[in-house]
Structure 1
Amino acid sequence: MYRDPTIRSSDITPESVYLNRRTFLRGLGALGAAALLSACGVNASDTRSNQSAPTNTLRDELGDPANTFEQITTYNNFYEFTTNKEDVARRAANFVTKPWTVEVTGMVHQPRIFAIEDILQMFDQEERIYRLRCVEGWSMVIPWQGFPLHKLLAIVEPTAHAQYVRFETLYDPDQMPGQRDRYFPWPYVEGLRLDEAMHDLTILSTGLYGRTLLPQNGAPLRLVVPWKYGFKSIKSIVKIELTDTMPVSLWMAVAPHEYGFYANVNPDVPHPRWSQATERRIGELGRRKTLPFNGYAEQVAALYAGMDLRQNY
């Protein structure tokens, strides 16, 4: 579902109209069976919603309403721009996302470089309402547009020796001023086990709320792994590598005593500096109980059978 990034904000369907239209279509049965509904170069004028928060009709499979477009696009973790969550959108407003390519390489039979336009044309964009849980203790429910990562990996054909998938973000300090901070070993790197990457819940996202993904949310292509903490969902991806070696992610390199490879949401394992037992949903005043695997245990717990999830944090 490709949308021209030169579209004016006035041409974009208002969020309230989008929500009402979705309700109408759902009533007609036009959407069919929703796939696993559940939830961390565009014009600057597209970075905010012109609508006040409407009564939300989009809900995840637990019945929680989706956060508004404005909330999702104005409170962001994206250290490549700034550590100030409320200033990412402003600093990222002029980020150029065309042209853009994604190299898929490593232990694959058919290594390839994909243009983002080709990716958008090759795969049908599904809507998936996923909860995003951040390690800092806040969460959102986000209606993503995207496609399962396994569909892209199937094209390059992983070899029998591939065990992990390594992801890499664009490195461009001129566009991403946060990358001038020498404390972090840029570019941002993340990784998954191959079976985690092949799980149907794992998607590559190209948009949200029916709109092209904005820079502050990881344009033009980001990973979404809903049962893990948000820092695993790497943004603005330029490289995907299949390997037989566990990748060392940026946060593992910076603070290995705080951030492990798996990063599965586990309320019973506190972060060294705060508890993970509760979370604050953006837009709500109180706190709510954190769910194991962010509420996706039924779908993914079998991936970790026999593992000590206190050791493999």
Structure 2
Amino acid sequence: MHFLKDRGFALPSTEITPRAVYEGRRVLLKQVAAGVAGSTLAAWAGREALAQAARPNKLAPLAGAKSGVAGSITMEKPTPYNDVTSYNNFYEFGTDKTDPAHNAGRLKTRPWTVAVEGEVKKPKVFDIDELLKLAPQEERIYRLRCVEGWSMVIPWVGYSLSELIKRVEPTGNAKYVEFVTLADAKSMPYVTSRVLDWPYVEGLRMDEAMHPLALLGFGLYGEVLPNQNGAPVRAVVPWKYGFKSGKSIVKIRFVEKEPRTSWVVAGPQEYGFYSNVNPKVDHPRWSQATERRIGEDGLFQKKRPTLMFNGYEAQVGQLYAGMDLVKNF
């Protein structure tokens, strides 16, 4: 079993987001705080145009309206696009943080289907383009906290997972939702390794999956997802550690029993099924009390305190009322 340690991260000056992009975001945040609705919406639309103009080799656009879901828009500064797309975990493409960006180019995201099956009244195999149009796309700016101790703030594009769930009509036996990632040795070189049992499997309790913040994501920064970030569709569960958000999903199953998720199988003493961000429950080999914000906090900067449920306690805390969050880690 191979585990990574945080090695630190530094960007060359050529990859630092231009000052004009940040200034555009600051203007937007000031307008939101002042409640200037009309100019805020105009600035919201212009923010992505400014960011995209500053970066070559843009992917296909995927616009999302500003979300009205409570807690879905953090006012924190988004992490630079180049950081989001070049420093991440996707073990199917390698175990180093930079491997996915280097190795994911062979992944073909068309044609692509997602099978929805199990305890549902209306099982269906969705074509990715059909899935994209199932509900209006929204932009949501979520914090992402990874179990290794680093974090980001990412403008995602997608819609609540509950939109899909309602359409397939789960039966009374559906207690959990299981997500299965593509495992294709031709495009994903590390699925032949022993790092994990493939395919990658993750899961949520049904009430977690139905929560409005749980996102079915198709894009980030106003574009379709890059391959290394989980194209063409992934889950985004902002109050949990990042590995709970399955990438490049090919199957969604509704089941009665708790799924045997990949990291629980690999290391049950280190990775629990719930995996909620909890600064009071340390990983056996490192503290979870603090975190380092990628692209903002330098290697020698003081780390910031980790927030309970990654800062979404007001929205999701009731899901775990009465639970022992040390036992159910």
Shorter-chain-normalised TM-score: which range? 0.7 to 0.9
Which secondary structure does the structure 2 equivalent of 1:307 belong to? coil
Structure 2 counterparts to residues 1-313 of structure 1, below 5 A = 20=24, 23=28, 27-30=38-41, 45-46=57-58, 63-283=75-295, 284-285=297-298, 286=301, 287-313=303-329
Q: CA deviation at 1:122?
A: 2.2
| 8 Å contact from structure 2 (residues 74, 141) kept in 1 | no
* Alpha-carbon distance in structure 2 between the residues aligned to 1:19 and 1:243: 47
Report Cα offsets for 1:65-88 as digits up to 9, x if no partner: 000111101111000000111121
Q: Percent identity over the alignment?
A: 55
Tell me if the contact between 1:15 and 1:69 (Cα under 8 Å) persists in the aligned partners: no
**Kept after mapping to 1: 8 A contact 2:175/2:255:** yes
Q: CA RMSD in A?
A: 2.6
Describe the shift of the 1:15–1:96 C-alpha distance in structure 2 as closer, same or farther (beyond 3 A).
farther
Gaps of 5+ in 1: 1-13, 34-43, 48-59
Which residue identity is paired with 2:193? D
Q: Secondary structure in 1 aligned to 2:173?
A: coil
Helix, strand or coil at the partner of 1:74: coil
Return the offset for 1:19: 8.3
Supply the distance in 1 between the matched residues of 2:127 and 2:88 (Cα, whole angstroms). 26
Separation in 1 of the partners of 2:186 and 2:261? 23
Question: Which consecutive aligned stretches of 4+ in structure 1 deviate over 6 angstroms post-superposition?
Answer: none
3-state DSSP class of the match of 2:85? Answer: helix
1:23-60 CA distances to partner (integer Å, 9 max, x unpaired)?
A: 49965253799xxxxxxxxxx9558xxxxxxxxxxxx8
Against the structure 1 CA distance between its residues 159 and 65, is the aligned structure 2 distance closer, same or farther, given a 3 Å change threshold?
same
1: CA distance between counterparts of 2:169 and 2:22?
37
Shift in Å, 1:182: 2.3
Check the 8 A contact 1:15/1:209 in 2, yes or no. Answer: no
Q: Which moved more, 1:91-100 or 1:217-226?
A: 91-100
The 8 Å contact of residues 74 and 143 in structure 2, kept in 1 or not, is answered as: no
Q: TM-score, normalised by structure 2?
A: 0.80
TM-score normalised per structure 1: 0.83
